[in-house]
Structure 1
């Protein structure tokens, strides 16, 4: 390995007020009086300022606002815990630019539905985190804004679209951050940054209006964290603010479950499968599950042969809608030509295939029933999050021609879109490595069964503690 290839790690873990604490640990320290909210927030600001020049993870900073809130934090379990909010939801007083620089951002007049629920848990936002343009790519590599870099090795992508949030959590700047997922965008950055990332069941948590109005509601909001208990605590506290009455409550999950589970293993993906290294790591996780007493059986993914084509068309429709309505939403500063080749190519793809859209949407709406049938035979499924090791920056550069970048994306993101269509919960756990970098293993369950996933995740975390940049 040459010096140019040597890993360049970036983190801010130190003996300040944050230390190496996760969010729950920080709450305990605050309640015990070992640290104060102003000390914690100031430490998070200093850490963010230290790592962000190397990571490019912050889209908008609101440090002065955070300092004001620290002097009189709102109530909630996480009162005083610093966080960031992904820059595709509205937070009052902050612009929402969705990872693009195609218009002049204006401060939002009010919190969106998600931010209102999220911040009601007591979290203190330092600002907004960067994402890929509109969240379409699995790697945030902006031609003008620059890339979001992986803190484990800054020559590699931090994933997307919730890459900025994940990079800041992994680097120790904040213990918990907002993420959302329309094709894997909680689970993918969790995987490549060595974090826990749970995509909740559809409608489990509050949703902004744009996501509620989709023909197929593929987007779910959640968090990325460094521990399973942080993710479990967030869901518990979010349920106190917003309760989905049609779903069983998640409740307070604090220990592994006792039930031995039927696990469906798949490494062949939705169309393209995992490479040999990732397959081997997934099989190693399957063996760990068997050692813990669970039954693992290899099965094909529960999808029809048109799933990938349908999902790509629907994904493309979102690009077409955003570009077509851009001037109306963002005003006269909106510049369609400022978008990257991936966004523009997706919009062209949608235009060419609009006649196929009704059939695609119909088939996607049938997916939850097919999944429910699958989970009558199995309790959980196990797959890798991604099909191969984390690529270097440039591999998914959106200035490449559309055909090249979309083919590379589909080759890498070969597992995660299924749960966006079915609406089922799925969690990425940092149980493996590939190419010397973190690699997430994905567990999914039937709709409403986050508690089962969290119990299993706690068991796996106990059996194989997660690696961290904190050492």
Structure 2
């Protein structure tokens, strides 16, 4: 197998080639290892690795031998240092055991070769932590790779690996998917395990899965990792059939609302709005009933709740790191906005926290009501195509409220579905005049992953993206016969 052949295959196809014996898992790992190293040199996407050999994994798993990477946040592997994007952890914390999700990745046969970059403690819409430096966009290296799963998205977009772990507390799967031209599904609350170290990350706003290049890879991976463990806070309703089957299923005729105006009142690039409207026309031509509509939201209340919940969560994470390492957090080892959020989070009292959680309940009830009228909601993923590097400077002198507003004004379409805990997916359905991908988001009610995957597969066929490659790609960095 040469590198052009490797980079052309998604994870499903690559697993089939390895299983057939046409190429060995060791040969594929050697290609991926060199590709990761070369991509990292150009774009700075790797926090740890590439490793000399993949982490242990099942030889008979669905994705046996398929190269993979995990994000340097939440999910971790035994014996592999994790820094979570912060200098507070120094050279990294080395966990003694896998998280449950890492167990599932290994059981699926995924061959983990690297840990990818993230902003400090995951709280940014780009990936430019002082702990690693800026991760650059392969389509235009002066632009952001998005966040907080920016390093993961870069490795997948450049063909170095066909899929990579990502997580999402306010848009962190979907935003980098949009910036890098990928598929990014944020599953519903509780769908994918995040234990045993925690239960529901970010008060239930956090979700785990991956970024991929194809809808079928997203569906197949969800089949492998969506399980419950003893002690999980609840067990979510299982699918009626495997999600991998949904990509071949007819979605039927759905009621789809379309909305292109930012709930924050912030700027939406006309190219982004046009991409959403064009997607709406394609869906209408496919037989769906499409009309403009939106849940009724009070942005100020949502933003205040985000500030309270993110800040108190960051304060808790920093307290854990201090207890683990004996270090003392402060502006000398945390970025300025992180420190502002931690200081505020330490002051949040029970009444303020309870009020923020009440806001989540209120918005969840409104969005739930909205989805009794519509099956899906179609919006932009990100207000603009990938912005220039430095557009969200986490080391700026800003208060917790100013920093949170700056992030969610730029990512104003994604965080709602973290607050409601309902699934949403970003698809790379358009390109800007500047040559940057544009992501379009579909969101649905609780337990609607199957419906989202059916419609996503329908759009993948009608508005294909498989032939697009960024300017910086593993095939341009390596000889075809490598």
If the length of structure 2 is used for normalisation, what is the TM-score? Answer: 0.88
Q: Is the 8 A contact 2:186 2:208 kept in 1?
A: yes
Deviation, structure 1 residue 324: 3.4
Aligned to 2:79: 93
Moved more, 238-247 or 368-377: 238-247
Give the Cα separation in 2 of the matches to 1:151 and 1:169.
10
1:79 equivalent among 59, 64, 67: 64
Distance change in 2, residues 1:363/1:26 (3 Å): same
Match of 1:464 in 2: 463
Counterpart for residue 246 of structure 1 = 236
> Separation in 2 of the partners of 1:44 and 1:276?
38
In the alignment, what sits opposite 1:388? Answer: 384
Contact 2:272-2:380 at 8 Å conserved across structures: yes
Q: 1:399 to 1:39 in 2, by over 3 A?
A: same
Query: Structure 2 CA distance, aligned partners of 1:353 and 1:327?
Result: 19
User: 1:323 aligned to 2:318?
Assistant: yes
Matches within 5 A, 1:13-28: 15=3, 18-28=6-16
Q: Is the CA contact (8 Å cut-off) linking 1:319 and 1:344 kept in structure 2?
A: no
> How far is the alpha carbon of 1:394 from its aligned partner?
1.6
Offset of 1:159 from its aligned partner? 0.4
In the alignment, which residue of structure 2 is the partner of 1:417? 415
Cα distance in 2 for partners of 1:242, 1:232 equals 20
Q: Which position in structure 1 is the counterpart of 2:257? A: 264
Q: Partner of 1:8 in structure 2?
A: none
CA distance in 1, matches of 2:470, 2:248: 24
Are the counterparts in 2 of residues 103 and 334 from structure 1 also a CA contact under 8 Å?
A: no
5+ unaligned residues in a row in structure 1: which ranges? Answer: 1-12
CA pair 61-214 structure 1, distance change in 2 beyond 3 A: closer
Q: CA deviation at 1:418?
A: 0.8
Q: Unmatched 5+ residue regions in structure 2?
A: 472-482
Aligned to 2:289: 295
Point out the more displaced range, 187-196 or 102-111: 102-111
Q: Is this contact kept in 1: 2:87–2:130, CA < 8 A? A: no
Aligned position for 1:286: 280
The 1:441–1:370 alpha-carbon spacing in structure 2 relative to 1, beyond 3 Å, is same
Structure 1 Cα separation of the partners of residues 133 and 33 of structure 2: 21
Pick closer, same or farther for the CA change 1:320–1:178 going to 2, 3 Å.
Answer: same
- Aligned-partner Cα distance in 1 for 2:201–2:406: 26
Equivalent residue, structure 2, for 1:365: 361
> For 1:327 and 1:279, how far apart are their aligned partners in 2?
44
Change (3 A) 1:14 1:463: farther
The RMSD of aligned alpha carbons is 2.4
* Alignment of structure 1 residues 135-174 onto 2, 5 Å: 135-174=122-161
Deviations 1:326-380, CA, capped at 9 Å, x for gaps: 3103334866621112211222443566453221112213433332221111111
Give the aligned partner of residue 216 of structure 2.
229
1:164-191: CA deviation from partner (whole Å, max 9, x where unpaired): 1110000010001000000010001101
Residue in structure 2 matching 1:56, options 38, 44, 58: 44
Aligned-pair distance for 1:16? 5.4
**1:129-164: CA deviations, max 9, x gaps?**
110100000111123521111111111110011111
Compute the displacement of 1:464 (Å): 0.7
For 1:203 and 1:407, the matched residues in 2 are separated by: 27
Q: Which moved more, 1:413-422 or 1:333-342?
A: 333-342
Given that 2:295 and 2:370 are in contact with CA atoms closer than 8 Å, whether structure 1 keeps it comes out as no
Deviates most, 323-332 or 200-209: 323-332
Moved more, 72-81 or 427-436: 72-81
Aligned pairs, number = 456
Shift of the alpha carbon at 1:416? 0.5
**Matching residue of 2:342:** 347
2:203 aligns to what SS in structure 1?
coil
Q: Secondary structure of the equivalent of 1:431?
A: strand
Superposed, 1:138-217 pairs within 5 Å as: 138-214=125-201, 216-217=203-204
What is the CA–CA distance in structure 2 between the aligned matches of 1:374 and 1:286, rounded to whole Å?
Answer: 18
**Cα separation, 2, equivalents of 1:16 and 1:424:** 38
Aligned CA distance change for structure 1 residues 335 and 75 (closer, same or farther; 3 Å): farther
Once the two structures are overlaid, the 10-residue window that deviates more, 327-336 or 371-380, is 327-336
**Cα distance change on mapping 1:81 and 1:264 into 2, 3 Å:** same
What secondary structure is seen at the aligned counterpart in 2 of 1:169? helix
TM-score of the superposition, structure 1-length normalised? 0.90
Structure 2 distance, partners of 1:332, 1:49, is: 32
| Pick aligned residue for 2:109 from 118, 122, 133 | 122
8 A contact 1:166–1:195 mirrored in 2? yes
Q: Do the aligned partners of 1:380 and 1:444 also contact (CA within 8 Å) in 2?
A: yes
Secondary structure of 1:149 counterpart: coil
Worse-matched range after superposition: 333-342 or 212-221: 333-342
Contact 2:192–2:227, Cα closer than 8 Å, also in 1: no
